[in-house]
Amino acid sequence: MGDLNPLSAWRRFLALPNDSRTKTLIVAFLVAGVCALMVSGATVLLRPIQAANRAAEEQARLGALVAGVPGMEDLLARSDGALSTVVVDLDRGGAAEGVTPAGLEAALGDAGNWTDLAQADDVAGLGRRPDLAQIYLLRQDDAVRLLLLPMVGSGYNGQIRALMALQGDMATVAGLAITAQQETPGLGARIEEPAWLAQFPGRQAVDDSGQVRFAVARGQASSIHEVDGITGATRTSNGVTQMVRFWLGPKGYGPLLDAIRRGEF
């Protein structure tokens, strides 16, 4: 029988010539294994920190977005500066039953809480849509005065994520914040520039008939429903248009907006 002593086997391995193919392969395998363990460990350790950083960044954007809405400073003061956070069922247009903001991530881990979108409905290029979403709102006298809606759509290089604030009529844009984007620097990435985002407050995303009319124009805006386009970034501009139209439409927050207009939320 061969010597099964691990120490003896290790000594025989070390005694192999450094240019031995066997030794080279084993060393490479060991190094790769150690590196994989280190990367996996770092990922596990850093995940809570990354999640906390993302949450902090989103809260900062929320605060900046709300602070920039005309008249909101006084309203926040009267409301103790508190935004309510609710998980909504997009199909019903009401609060989700049994799902809190803390449990939303776990709920969305269930494939049953997602809906595959037909091509004709999928104007934002999502493929599928979560059935649950976390929104933020500010009430005064039992009426919703400000509604903040997370959105996601497809840009030129990847997903665009945003927060859109709507005034109490659920038609007038109070502001937009881009929370994540991978667009080309100097072109599509300009959607994060304050000067471009400053166009959004006061735009009418929805017309009097209830149709979503918002658009990023090809060139300069020519109506109250539009903002100026970005030169050389047609696909990014179209991506923002389709993102907003999808999420304010019937497959997005449309049922919720209708319920708020009727005073049922």
- 174-195 pLDDT, tens digit per residue, is 999 999 999 999 999 999 999 9
**Sign for the pseudo-dihedral over CA of 14, 18, 22, 26:** positive
> In this structure, are residues 192 and 64 in contact, taking their beta carbons and an 8 Å threshold?
no
Closest CA to 116 of 133, 97, 130, 103: 130
More confident: 137 or 47: 137
Contact 165, 68 (CB under 8 A): no
- In terms of DSSP bridges, do strands 215-216 and 173-180 run parallel, antiparallel, or are they unpaired? unpaired
Start-to-end CA distance of the chain, whole Å, equals: 79
- The 10s digit of each residue's pLDDT in 197-214 is 999 999 999 999 889 999
Domain ranges in the chain are: 7-14+21-67, 81-261
Distances from the Cα of 65 to the Cα of 14, 180, 225, 242, 254, angstroms: 63, 15, 20, 21, 22
Using a pLDDT cut of 90, give the percent of the chain over it.
65
Say how far apart CA 102 and CA 117 lie, in whole Å. Answer: 26
